Amino acid sequence: MLPPVPVLADYGISPTHGFLPEVLPLTRLPDPYYNKWEAIAANLQALILSKRLRGVVDRLPVLSTIGLEHDAEWRRAYLLLSFMAHGYIWGGDSPSDRLPPPIAIPLLKVSAHLEVPPVATYAAVCLWNFKPLFMDEDIDNLENLASLMTFTGAIDESWFYLVSVAMEARGAPIVPLMLTAIAAARENDANAVTKCLNTFAERLDDLTMLLLRMHENCDPTIFYNRIRPFLAGSKNMAEAGLPNGVLYEDNTGTETYRQYAGGSNAQSSLIQFFDIVLGIQHRPTGEKAAPPSERGREGHPPAPKHNFIMEMRQYMPGPHRRFLNDVQSVANIREYVEQNRSNTELCVAYDACLAMLRALRDKHIAIVTRYIVLPSKEVRARSRSPEVARRKVNLATASRQQPQGIAYDARGAANAAQKAADEKKSNLKGTGGTALISFLKQARDETGEPAIEEWTKRFMSRQPRAPGQNDFFAGKPEEGAGLQVQNTKEVEVAGLAGTWTMDDDVGGICNY
Ligand code: HEM
């Protein structure tokens, strides 16, 4: 007996807004009891700029969560508290390794209620942090969106969040569409499955177009030096000033230091839904593809591999996480297409989805190169100057003696080969970019692996660009910013020579 196809309403997922809430995020908490939180939120940037946030928060009373009624209110409270928490931790000359009771106590309660970690996750900064400018216009239109909260007040920060919001909104109809496809495959209705896949592929192209708009209003230097430090978590953050993580002072007397990853788009349930529904499997970095016999089938999914992408599920709202797990157990599209290889239209439609999702990941790598790898090289160059000693300590200025890998690497959870590779790396100074870019490239290449048609396989395995055809985002190949292997190597080696001490090159937004 096959498990039932999940019903969106059971997981609080909207058929029109997807993982964005059906009820728009509140712009303020209705109960005046919470006015003090709202007042801080309204002045967050000024309080951070004047370095008065910590003093103001320390003097706040500990407010109860008893006045929070509807889900939208709990989400607003989480938004306020998680922004205050990250502002408190990262908004001084050096990070605070404690969160005082006025934030810690309600944040722990609100997070437990919403089943999210008590940090600024993707749900806080994107999913629950937007409003439409005009109520009668769609929220998948970037020109109709505004952020409710930012740390910096910069349009770059709003834009960074809003591109994701628009992508979530534009991608939302794919969720019910592909549940329909799963049901159609059970009914052996190949036409219906093909139609769903064709629409899915077209929407994926829309999402890539939205992603490519990141550069319009988000400056890489501002992103790297001003925005990213506030999104940082407390895991692997010794060099940025948090050797133990953060103590959430909950007045129980039994507190211990906690460590969490920071906010990252890798916590988007939508992108993971795409992978699951298409039968794409992500392995620990460096691990080769499993033989078909280990791939699992509907009702018998393969045991999930522990990798970074899986780890990011822990940072999604609980119901979204459960939805992904349940979809995993009914995902049958890949198997269905493989059983119907003679149906060319079906196979082409399936391959088109893989190609489009792969293209999205390809563009994303170029963005990561432009927004993280290149600015980290600049910071590295600057870190050789004596001026650095006078600068404040945070993620942007952090330096390290030993490279730290992306979250799952650092935890040693990958296979032995990976561990050996990591150990080898840790003896090298300046392995910058290796873990991050190879992780992203592997995720991109795994996306193309299930392709059915020979020509699709060939198309997807070709080099993305011929010499001389620079990627707009990645810059010129001689700048070491392209996507090809040789360019990544340049990022790893050029000018490092033992003086490079930036963590930033081996992780991303949320691994610090
Ligand atoms: C300036 C823009 C962006 C930057 C600098 C950036 C950076 C990163 C980094 C560094 C990672 C590695 C994991 C981590 O440490 O967090 C990552 C992963 C990821 N990002 Fe982005 N990102 C950006 C925008 C986006 C957007 C708009 C999306 C929405 C689709 C997205 C989706 C993902 C996904 C799904 C992953 C997990 C890896 C994968 O599945 O391929 N990112 N990103």
Nearest atom, ligand 1, residue 218 CA: 1
Q: Can you give the pLDDT at residue 298?
A: 72
How far is Cα 200 from Cα 315, in angstroms, rounded to an integer?
Answer: 26
Cα–Cα separations (whole angstroms), residue 93 to 295, 335, 477: 50, 55, 37
How far is Cα 199 from Cα 207, in angstroms, rounded to an integer?
Answer: 13
Residue (of 424, 430, 418, 422) closest to 405 by Cα position: 422
Strands 246-248 and 145-147: unpaired
Give the whole-number percent of the chain exceeding pLDDT 70: 78
The CA-based angle 180-181-185, given to 5 degrees, is: 120
Domains of the chain, residue spans: 1-383
* Residue list, ligand 1 pocket, CB within 6 Å: 160, 163-164, 167, 211, 214, 218, 223, 264-266, 268, 271, 309, 361, 364, 367-368, 371-372, 406, 436, 440, 443, 507-511
What is the DSSP secondary structure assignment for residue 463, as one 8-state letter?
-
Per-10-residue mean pLDDT for the chain, 512 residues long? Answer: 95 97 97 98 98 98 97 98 98 96 98 98 98 97 98 98 98 98 98 98 98 98 96 91 96 94 96 98 85 69 77 97 98 98 98 98 96 88 64 60 31 40 36 68 95 86 56 43 38 22 41 40
Contact 316, 267 (CB under 8 A): yes
Q: Which residue has the tokens 């003696």?
A: 401
Cβ neighbours, 10 Å, residue 314: 14
How far is Cα 164 from Cα 159, in angstroms, rounded to an integer?
Answer: 9
Q: Can you give the pLDDT at residue 423?
A: 42
What is the DSSP secondary structure assignment for residue 258, as one 8-state letter?
E
237, 364, 369, 504: residue to mutate for ligand 1 pocket, most atoms within 8 A of CB: 364
How far is Cα 60 from Cα 49, in angstroms, rounded to an integer?
Answer: 19
Q: Ligand 1 mean position to 11 CA, how many Å?
A: 24
How far is Cα 228 from Cα 156, in angstroms, rounded to an integer?
Answer: 11
Nearest atom, ligand 1, residue 511 CA: 15
Q: Can you give the pLDDT at residue 263?
A: 94
1-383: CATH topology is: Methane Monooxygenase Hydroxylase; Chain G, domain 1 (1.20.58)
Q: Which residue has the tokens 């400018």?
A: 133
pLDDT in tens, 52-81: 999 999 999 999 999 999 999 999 999 999
Residue (of 171, 174, 449, 180) closest to 330 by Cα position: 180
- In three-state form (DSSP H/G/I as H, E/B as E, the rest C), the secondary structure along 434-449 is HHHHHHHHHHHHHHHC
Nearest atom, ligand 1, residue 220 CA: 1
pLDDT in tens, 110-164: 999 999 999 999 999 999 999 999 999 999 999 999 999 999 999 999 999 999 9
One-character DSSP codes across 326-370: HHHTT--HHHHHHHTTT-HHHHHHHHHHHHHHHHHHHHHHHHHII
Q: How far apart are the first and last CA of the chain?
A: 44
